[in-house]
Structure 1
Amino acid sequence: MTQTAATDLARRARTFLDLHTAPEILVLANVWDVVSAQVVAATPGTQALATASHSIASTFGYADGENIPFDLHLEMVRRIVRAVELPVSMDFEAGYGNAGETARRAIEAGVVGGNLEDAMKPLAQAVTAVEAVMAAGREAGIDFVLNARTDAVLRADPAAPRSQAIDEAVRRGRAFLEVGAPVVFVPGLVAREEIQEVADAFGPRRLTVISIPGVSLSVQELQALGVARVSTGPFTQRVALTALQDAAAALLAGGRLPAGTRPLN
């Protein structure tokens, strides 16, 4: 990497980190290929991009959950990075067996942030993985923005008291914050009271959540609760696919493509 490229990478990383601590919540509409990245990047108000591993896997015909070969996954992310001027964060899933090496290769591709699932591994193992990713950022000389994810709520036993899942999410999230992760992602949080509880436990601008169609609070409401970031995961791709299927159905029923369709590519 040239000195110019290294300087630009460090600048993008610092910009991305600052977006998480700004008073305004960071909104990331997840992308999955070059054209989706370009469309979102060109949307007024977009300040950074995040890829969705589920969506990239689906694009190539793989199921979610590290079924897509990492090299193929990374190549798509590399193409996205090259196509835009904004900071890009990559979903590492659970780290592909070596979170530190996965982060190093992503950083070499121009990535300045990443999601890492704990998959409810023993906490010591999960913390070690977080430390490895943060070390990769330091070795590259950048303020890498790890969005350390805990699945404590997502994978909680539905028969157990809800408070147990929330307490475990807080325990794990605090452990990740203590070893340097700037923010913690807790999928499965949708109720106002739970989001407030976890946000307060982590501290200002430390919690990130996902927006679920028809269920989640609005971006404005999440900002008022102290959430640092809201992303969309695979749901933006599903929005696009829903529009595609609806358009196809209209044509097959004897109709026409929707008026107002814009030439975005």
Structure 2
Amino acid sequence: MDDRGTAFRRLHEQPGTFIIPNPWDIGTARILAAMGFPALATTSAGMAFALGVAEGRVPREDALRHCRDIAEATALPVSADLEKGFDDSPESAAETIRAAAGIGLAGCSLEDHTGRPDDPIYDFTLAVERIDAAARASGALRRDFVLTARCENFLWGRPDLDDTVRRLQAYEKAGADVLYAPGLRDLATIQTVCSALTKPVNVVMGLPGTAFSVADLAQAGVKRISVGSALARLAYGAFVSAAREMRQQGTFRFSESAMGFAELEGFFTGVSTA
């Protein structure tokens, strides 16, 4: 696993834009690896749904266990969505990095979302101090580790582009390796963010109204594309639709669009032609 952080960083340094999809369990991680994706990222929402709880309600040890399972499922680098980390302080942010590295992750993301709906975004100074502490902890590790800093303004009722750029620039200066502002809805805004930064930018696809192509995003300056909880929501949506059909209509037409058993099993036996 010592080489995974280095491999992950190289993905951000090489030409072009890459997709880092988000599995939510061991099986989906292995399917995505078999399909040829170069790296994986966990999804905090997908993890929570798989555990049967709401997002943000997964205890630290359960979250780390889940991320370790994903990291050990394949040989690919894995970056974890660790939300705000394990607490609010800069010291906690640093501890989050050390814990993430300790379970074999190649990187992780930290948010400036407080987890409190009445006061959703950390004060600017504290937010920067948290990323500074995380970056220092990352730099002190014995192996490479890619730190992604997230500005959550657009997801929490604060669509302030100037403040978002200001925060991302400060996180970049504090030592973050990748910058990320989920919730950007148009290519012009994405390009503005990318142009304001010198380090790689991650953009999330899969949100309603943001169905841009890899080519579109590459032209806007994006280096990395994730899909957050979109794959998990797609799968759960199909599951719920099938369950409703059985419960409400007494029919089983959903099975006509289900993947064949042999094809699905092929991902786990090494005979898939994905």
Question: 1:219 — aligned with what?
Answer: 214
Between the aligned partners of 1:167 and 1:256, the Cα distance in structure 2 is 47
How far apart are 1:71 and its partner, in Å? 0.1
Deviations 1:99-153 (A, max 9, x none): 1112111111001111100112112211221122222222222232111000122
Q: Which residue of 2 aligns with 1:48?
A: 39
Between the aligned partners of 2:183 and 2:133, the Cα distance in structure 1 is 26
**Partners of 1:81 and 1:245 in 2: CA distance:** 28
What residue is the counterpart of 2:272 in the other structure? none
Q: Once the two structures are superposed, what CA deviation does each residue of 1:20-43 show, in whole Å capped at 9, x if it has no partner?
A: 232221211111111111111111
Structure 2: how far apart are the matches of 1:60 and 1:139? 33
Deviation >6 Å, runs of 4+: none
Identity, in percent, stands at 33
Q: 1:178 to 1:256 in 2, by over 3 A?
A: closer
User: Match for residue 124 of structure 1?
Assistant: 125
Structure 1 stretch 241-250 or stretch 223-232: which is displaced more? 241-250
Paired position in structure 1 for 2:65: 75
Bigger Cα displacement from structure 2, 126-135 vs 166-175? 126-135
TM-score by length of 2: 0.84
| Rounded Cα–Cα distance in structure 2 between residues aligned with 1:20 and 1:190 | 23
SS in 2 for 1:111: coil
Distance 1:60 1:101, change over 3 A: same
CA distance in 2, matches of 1:213, 1:122: 26
Compute the RMSD of aligned alpha carbons.
Answer: 1.8
Map of 2:149 onto structure 1: 148
Determine helix, strand or coil for the equivalent of 1:147.
Answer: strand
Opposite residue 191 of structure 1, the aligned amino acid is D
Distance 1:144 1:113 in 2: 5
SS of residue paired to 2:126? helix
Gaps (5+ residues) in structure 1? 1-7
Which residue is 2:49 aligned to? Answer: 58
Runs (5+) with no aligned partner, structure 2:
114-120, 266-274
Task: Give the residue type in structure 2 aligned to 1:12.
Answer: R
The CA distance in 1 between the partners of 2:168 and 2:207, in whole Å, is 25
Which of 83, 92, 110 in structure 2 is aligned with 1:93?
A: 83
CA distance in 2, matches of 1:89, 1:73: 13
The one-letter amino acid paired with 2:255 is L
Q: 2-side partners of 1:190 and 1:248: how far apart?
A: 33
Give deviations 1:175-197, integer Å, cap 9, x for gaps. Answer: 01011111111011021111111
Q: Could you tell me which residue of structure 2 aligns to residue 261 of structure 1?
A: 259
2-structure distance, mates of 1:180, 1:107: 17
1:176-255 alignment, distance < 5 Å = 176-203=171-198, 206-216=200-210, 217-250=212-245, 252-255=250-253
Aligned to 1:19: 11
The aligned counterpart of 1:138 is 139
2:20 maps to which residue? 28
Give the AA of the match of 1:194.
Answer: T
